[in-house]
A = this chain, B = another copy of it.
Amino acid sequence: MSNPSSETLSPLLFHSQSGQPESLSEQLLGMKGASLVKLASLGAPVPPGFILATDLCARVSASNGDLHGAISDAIGKGLSQLEELSGLKFGDPADPLLISLRYSSPLPVPNQPQTVLYLGLSVTAPDKACARHGQSRVGWDALFRLVRNFGTEVNGLSRFEFDDILSTVLDEEMVESQHELSAEAAEKVARSALEHYRQQAGREFPQDPRSQLEEAVMAFISRWHSARTRAYVWEQGLDDLPGPALVVQQMIVGTGDKASLAGRFSTHVPGSGERRPHGQFLQSAQGVDLTAGLRMTESIARLEKTHPETYSQLQDWAEKLMAHFKDALDIQFTVEEGKLWLLHSRPSSRTARASLKIALELADKGICTEREALRLINPNVVEEFLHPVLDKHHAEGPLTKGLPASPGSAVGQVVFFAEHAVELAAKGIRTILVRHETTPEDIDGLKVADGIVTVHGGLTSHAAVVARGMGKCCVVGAGEITVNYHINDMNIKGRTVSRNDWISIDGNTGEIFLGQLPQVQPKLEGGMARVLEWADKYRRLGVRANADTAEDAERAVEMGAGGIGLCRTEHMFFEIDRIPVFRKMILAQDEKGRSEALVELLPLQREDFAGLLRVMDGRPVTIRLLDPPLHEFLPRGIRSQSRMAKAMGVPVEEVQRRIEHLNENNPMMGHRGCRLAVTYPEIYAMQVRAIMEASVIVKREGKKVCPEIMVPLISSPRELRVLREQIEKVIQDVRQETGEDVPVKIGTMIETPRAAVNSRAIAHWADFYSFGTNDLTQMGFGFSRDDTGVFLPAYLEQNILDIDPFIQLDKHGIGRMVDIAVQDGRKSNPDIKLGICGEHGGEPESVKFCHGLGLDYVSCSPFRIPVARLAAGQAAVDDPGSEND
């Protein structure tokens, strides 16, 4: 704001009768300030105070001290209004107006200062100043709190050292908490704190109340410029934020002896979402003491007995505020000498499951609309209803713990080889497959096992991705396990578990138990179905499935998929009847040899595609042409290589020579994706033919078909043009041969950063894009997801990254590339369809981000489809542009 005479340079007064306009924004008042003004405007008993608005603070901050006078004036004006309202005087040695100073940022940023309480307290005789509230202890305790928080927030001293002073005296006095201290002991604590302050800060603690307050205000304002806050603000692109507002508010003293207490009142039980008052309180305390853990809190239910009138007032206010805020609430309150004051009200914390129950209740009672209720639900709740959970009531502790890679639970006999899993499954025996790590060769075992455990690998390792795709329970990175493949057992902290022993695993926690634990299937409450209906009604994003087989496709349709967004054709080549033929193609020396093998594969692929198209019956089916490097299809171990050589009638050396030849230093960035097609065009030609012939077959069966052909890994427009011409030629051939004209879209994956920034030229050749955010994340960060296990944990631990970017789409980097590709692509091809088919397509935050980017659909594992539907619905109702839909 450039106008220096702006209204907001004055302090903004609020109190419970103030009738402030509700519209003063968080941008101006900060979040806490806006919430207090709102409560006041509803007539709630909030302690009166005034706000130094964000623009005033920003101007003071920018002026390098020139505007110190302005802020001092504003404080003076605000204080005299508060004195008038409260009838107390700031700095009065007896019963003064006490002040709390709160930081009120317009957005949640890290490193905010803690509230400083008891500003304006006499440093020399706090006991006298607080005499009204009870014994001298109250005053000395207040002084200690003032010195500690002031020292910490204004002078940057260590909070721990102040708390040590308190602990020492508590120990000497053999009591648990400061409210039990004698007045003498409390005085000792306060005086020690003052002395500690003097030593550390190199000066006396400021005696003048006004100086205390102004110093604290200036320190709070400058906090916005601390390196940590700056870093965050820059990173989030929030450079334009004006900085914090400050709330200067009358202190309510809850530490007094007479009917004074502090507490938290929740309208619902956080764990279950049941509608029943919940919360805690402490006698003679401030709110901060509730979480300090020094005193045993009392249940809010007890308040009904000890302070029935307060309890009933709280209930009344809870009802009123819930009706207004249309949500379950936590209310912070303090009672001073019997009078109830509300300090803060915010949406209550709750488990995912509780969020569902609360949303349904509020909608049913008409407290909020469907749209509003939809926003209240934690989308992770969906998953809880899809998988059985272990009943651990009678279990011993877990043997060990790994990373929870795919939710649910599994109970089975331990096997260490895929073939053993297949063997036992044939006999109807449940198994848990335990491996160092899994590879595509283990696919048959992964399919039949009930659960999967790996010793190595992270949340995006092969096992984790495949398991999530199958909706199968999986624990990875269980590093305490030592597997001995030779003798078919494993050792966990000295304990041996052998093949065929029973174990139980929990994919939600990563725990591994010995023996057969009972499994309980959570009841899929009807509410879930209703909520998904709401989501479907409002969402703009389509939700498709990543599905490779007709079986997957059936599940996808059950889960509500509107199509298939990614069919990975290579998975079909791993099937037991295809891999030998596919390997024959790889071993072929020339195009002729490859073409002969491809002729054998054609009818098999055609049948695969026909199966998929049949199930999807007119819904779009996006089929990605061959993607992985060829060496992934060749066996690694010498034994398998010998078997392969024998089966193919060639010397094992030839197999090894070929494997050696195909070996790559960085296979992720090597000869794969459409690069295979540039060098071996016949592979894609076979696949396109299979897709088009399958489409004709299914069409002639009287079903609808909507195939979409997707070219992976392009990095330049001419690549797509050349391949598109080849693909169109095959389509034309099949059209002429069959006389059937099946409309088909041809598009591409955007998964190299170069493709993303070159989207304007690429979009001319693409009917659709599907963002392959897994690879885009790998190449964008330069993080090989197979190799991040060594350093990514350190990145998360040191808070360099907030979250594994393979789990949640990285908005500022990878997301920006997607955004560039979307904007540029639509510029040159306004009709282009845009989707995402990385692992992120089933992660709620990422789905919402995709909505914001204006994508047309997300695609994810069948099991995550309900999550994606819900998240897509929430994104739509959160979108300001959709209000009038």
Closest to A668 in B: B666
When distances are taken between beta carbons in the complex, the residues of chain B under 8 Å from A814 are 754
Which residues, 706 to 761 on A, are CB-close (under 8 Å) to B? Answer: 713, 715-719, 721-722, 751-755, 757-758, 760-761
Asked whether A781 lies within 8 Å of B810 as measured between CB atoms, the reply is no
Task: Select A757's contact among B664, B764, B790, B817, beta carbons within 8 Å.
Answer: B817
A668-B666, A787-B665 as given contacts; A795 in contact with B234, CB under 8 Å = no
A794 to B668, CA, bound (A): 19
When distances are taken between beta carbons in the complex, the residues of chain B under 8 Å from A765 are 231
When distances are taken between beta carbons in the complex, the residues of chain B under 8 Å from A665 are 667-668, 784, 786-787
Which residues, 309 to 342 on A, are CB-close (under 8 Å) to B? Answer: none
When distances are taken between beta carbons in the complex, the residues of chain B under 8 Å from A719 are 795, 800
When distances are taken between beta carbons in the complex, the residues of chain B under 8 Å from A781 are 669, 715, 752, 754
Interface range, A side: 35 or more
When distances are taken between beta carbons in the complex, the residues of chain B under 8 Å from A757 are 780, 812-813, 816-817, 820
Asked whether A670 lies within 8 Å of B784 as measured between CB atoms, the reply is yes
Verify if A679 is at the interface (C-beta below 8 Å from B).
Answer: yes
Verify if A235 is at the interface (C-beta below 8 Å from B).
Answer: yes
What per-residue 1/0 map shows which CB atoms of A181-215 lie under 8 Å from chain B? 00000000000000000000000000000000000
Closest to A800 in B: B718
Verify if A568 is at the interface (C-beta below 8 Å from B).
Answer: no
When distances are taken between beta carbons in the complex, the residues of chain B under 8 Å from A717 are 231, 234-235
Verify if A791 is at the interface (C-beta below 8 Å from B).
Answer: yes
What per-residue 1/0 map shows which CB atoms of A755-795 lie under 8 Å from chain B? 10110110011000000000100111111101100110011
Verify if A798 is at the interface (C-beta below 8 Å from B).
Answer: yes
When distances are taken between beta carbons in the complex, the residues of chain B under 8 Å from A816 are 757-758
When distances are taken between beta carbons in the complex, the residues of chain B under 8 Å from A812 are 757-758, 761
Q: How far is the CB of A845 from chain B (nearest CB, A)?
A: 18
Verify if A237 is at the interface (C-beta below 8 Å from B).
Answer: yes
When distances are taken between beta carbons in the complex, the residues of chain B under 8 Å from A801 are 716, 718
What per-residue 1/0 map shows which CB atoms of A657-689 lie under 8 Å from chain B? 000000011111111000100110000000000
Asked whether B787 lies within 8 Å of A679 as measured between CB atoms, the reply is no
Copies of this protein in the complex: 2
Verify if A180 is at the interface (C-beta below 8 Å from B).
Answer: no
A231-B718, A761-B234 as given contacts; A780 in contact with B754, CB under 8 Å = yes
A715-B781, A781-B715 as given contacts; A234 in contact with B760, CB under 8 Å = yes
Task: Select A787's contact among B669, B722, B753, beta carbons within 8 Å.
Answer: B669
When distances are taken between beta carbons in the complex, the residues of chain B under 8 Å from A231 are 717-718, 721, 761, 764-765
Asked whether B679 lies within 8 Å of A790 as measured between CB atoms, the reply is yes
Task: Select A813's contact among B669, B754, B786, beta carbons within 8 Å.
Answer: B754
Inter-chain pairs besides A670-B784, A754-B810, 16 sampled, C-beta below 8 Å: A230-B764, A231-B764, A235-B716, A665-B784, A666-B787, A669-B783, A669-B784, A670-B787, A671-B791, A678-B794, A678-B795, A679-B794, A718-B801, A722-B800, A757-B813, A757-B816
28 examples of A-B residue contacts, CB within 8 angstroms: A234-B760, A235-B716, A235-B761, A239-B828, A665-B667, A665-B784, A666-B667, A666-B669, A668-B669, A669-B669, A669-B778, A669-B782, A669-B784, A670-B784, A679-B790, A715-B781, A715-B782, A715-B813, A716-B801, A751-B782, A754-B781, A754-B814, A755-B813, A757-B813, A757-B820, A758-B812, A761-B812, A775-B782
